[in-house]
Amino acid sequence: MNIKAISENYILKTYNRYPLVLEKGEGVYLYDENGNKYLDFFSGIAVCNLGYNHKKINEAAIDQIKKLYHASNFFYTKPQAFLAKKLVEKTFKDGKVFFCNSGTEAVEGALKAAKRYLYLKGEKDYKILAFKNSFHGRTLGALSVTGQEKYWEGFDVKNDNVIFIDFNDKESLKKVFEKENIKIVILELIQGEGGINVASKDFIETLLSLKQERNFILIIDEIQTGIGRTGKLFAFEDYNFEPDIITLGKALGNGFPIGAFVLKEYLKEALTPGTHGSTFGGNPISCSVANVVLDEISQKEFLDKVQKISKLFMEKLKELESKFSFLENPRGKGLILGITTKVPAREVALKALENNLIIGIAGNNDTLRFEPPLIINETHIEEGFEKLVKALKKF
Ligand SMILES: Cc1ncc(COP(=O)(O)O)c(C=O)c1O
């Protein structure tokens, strides 16, 4: 049975897939249909932060499967209630959660909540500020705040109410607030898909002082940076402020589909019965797993380890930069790291794959992107960089 051929025949080609048919995962390794073993430095796009075949996750999912797969949101369930309590306790006192199925839906919901709050306050003719090279998802609303035109073409998403400026550009930020009535700002604190661009402290401080003056709703997209990825449970913790809304997805379910947004108490009346909803949102299996994920990842020792291993990873990237003239600017935080490559990133990723290492790419095919499961250790890093060096020597 040729799985690649069947897939190419029957599945709409929206992805340029790596030529691998994956069959199972164990810890930080993935195995293909022929039993070949791959070290995973990508976690299924920053999703499997606790790796694969994790005992506690398996137990939570299997226990829940035996009890109840699904309940509509016309009912209460324990896993959903416990997860909501945990999320609020770890984010904003007296905040509220909405559960959905994916990151892009979390962004849609967050935008709806912000817009409806402003509507109820009688705010009109305001603008939304978003950033060039951002990525917030593929639905029409999320695309309208995604600052990469290549994703818009042909979809009629251009929205004159959304303004894009350069990320990390303080002067443009000040200028745009002088000219425009901005009431919603959405950003990632590290642009993942856009090229692993870390928001500078300076830039965020400027944004926060403008917020004091101008009073807008600040949405931080933590879909990729959240759940321990940066070495903190949420990326915003590193900048010493509280957003008004955060969006979550990806690693929250470690592979089980779930998204969420959490908003501050003052916004809670924005969405009431009938204004928003989801059939599958807060699915009991995904929520049971997410409870385990949060319990594991929010432990201080776990996050300390991520920060420690991150230093070693970054040292290795710096070594690569000095060894290979086509690599430059290693960057990132925790285990969301990248390095610019002058040879096409996809070609490097394919060569790495031939050496049994899975890495990602970002930006305009010019960034090697590393987002391994957060459980990697020193030995895995040594192994991964040996494989990567072998691949890079081919260029
Ligand atoms: C920052 C950010 N927001 C939103 C999304 C969209 O999430 P999903 O693909 O789960 O809908 C992504 C996915 O890459 C992301 O990285």
Which atom of ligand 1 lies at the shortest distance from residue 247's CA? 3
> How many CB atoms sit inside 10 A of residue 390's CB?
15
101 CA → ligand 1 middle, Å: 11
Contact 188, 178 (CB under 8 A): no
Percent of the chain, pLDDT > 70? 100
Does the C-beta of 197 come closer than 6 Å to ligand 1?
Answer: no
Tens-digit pLDDT profile for residues 235-271: 999 999 999 999 999 999 999 999 999 999 999 999 9
If phi > 0 it is left, if psi is from -120 to 50 it is alpha, else beta; for residue 167 that is beta
Atom 6 (ligand 1): residue with closest C-alpha?
137
Tens-digit pLDDT profile for residues 166-194: 999 999 999 999 999 999 999 999 999 99
Pairing mode, strands 182-187 and 127-131? parallel
Q: Which of 223, 227, 236, 367 to mutate to test the pocket of ligand 1 (most atoms within 8 A of CB)?
A: 223
Whole-angstrom distance, CA of residue 348 vs CA of residue 179: 44
Tens-digit pLDDT profile for residues 28-79: 999 999 999 999 999 999 999 999 999 999 999 999 999 999 999 999 999 9
Does the C-beta of 193 come closer than 6 Å to ligand 1?
Answer: yes
**Confidence tier at 155 by pLDDT (50, 70, 90):** very high
> What pLDDT is stored for residue 260 in this prediction?
98
Give the chain's domains with CATH numbers: 77-267+277-297 (3.40.640.10), 306-335 (no CATH)
**What is the DSSP secondary-structure string of 3-40?**
HHHHHHHHS---S---S--EEEEEBTEEEETT--EEEE
241 CA → ligand 1 middle, Å: 23
Which atom of ligand 1 lies at the shortest distance from residue 259's CA? 10
Does the C-beta of 246 come closer than 6 Å to ligand 1?
Answer: no
Letter string b/e over residues 110-139, b meaning 16 or more CB atoms within 10 A of that residue's CB = bbbbbbbbbeeeeeeeebbbbbbbbbbbee
Tens-digit pLDDT profile for residues 333-343: 999 999 999 99
| Per-residue H/E/C for 73-131 | CCCCCHHHHHHHHHHHHHCCCCCEEEEECCHHHHHHHHHHHHHHHHHHCCCCCCEEEEE
pLDDT for 280 beyond 90: yes
Q: Which of 15, 49, 135 to mutate to test the pocket of ligand 1 (most atoms within 8 A of CB)?
A: 135
Residue 21 half-sphere exposure, CB side, CA atoms within 13 Å?
Answer: 11
> How many CB atoms sit inside 10 A of residue 283's CB?
27
Does the C-beta of 144 come closer than 6 Å to ligand 1?
Answer: no
pLDDT for 353 beyond 90: yes
Whole-angstrom distance, CA of residue 45 vs CA of residue 25: 15
pLDDT for 101 beyond 90: yes
Q: Which residues contact 88 (CB under 8 A, 6 or more apart)?
A: 94, 95, 96, 97, 262
Does the C-beta of 231 come closer than 6 Å to ligand 1?
Answer: no
Whole-angstrom distance, CA of residue 220 vs CA of residue 330: 24
**Confidence tier at 299 by pLDDT (50, 70, 90):** very high
Does the C-beta of 192 come closer than 6 Å to ligand 1?
Answer: yes
71 CA → ligand 1 middle, Å: 25
pLDDT for 1 beyond 90: no
Distance between first and last Cα of the chain: 34
If phi > 0 it is left, if psi is from -120 to 50 it is alpha, else beta; for residue 198 that is beta
378 CA → ligand 1 middle, Å: 29
pLDDT for 310 beyond 90: yes
pTM value?
0.98
Whole-angstrom distance, CA of residue 13 vs CA of residue 137: 18
> Which strands make up the sheet holding 127-131, listed edge to edge?
96-100, 259-263, 245-248, 217-221, 182-187, 127-131, 162-165
Q: Which of 197, 246, 250, 371 to mutate to test the pocket of ligand 1 (most atoms within 8 A of CB)?
A: 250
390 CA → ligand 1 middle, Å: 31
Q: Which of 224, 225, 227 to mutate to test the pocket of ligand 1 (most atoms within 8 A of CB)?
A: 224
Mean pLDDT (the chain, rounded)? 97
Whole-angstrom distance, CA of residue 220 vs CA of residue 127: 17
Does the C-beta of 206 come closer than 6 Å to ligand 1?
Answer: no
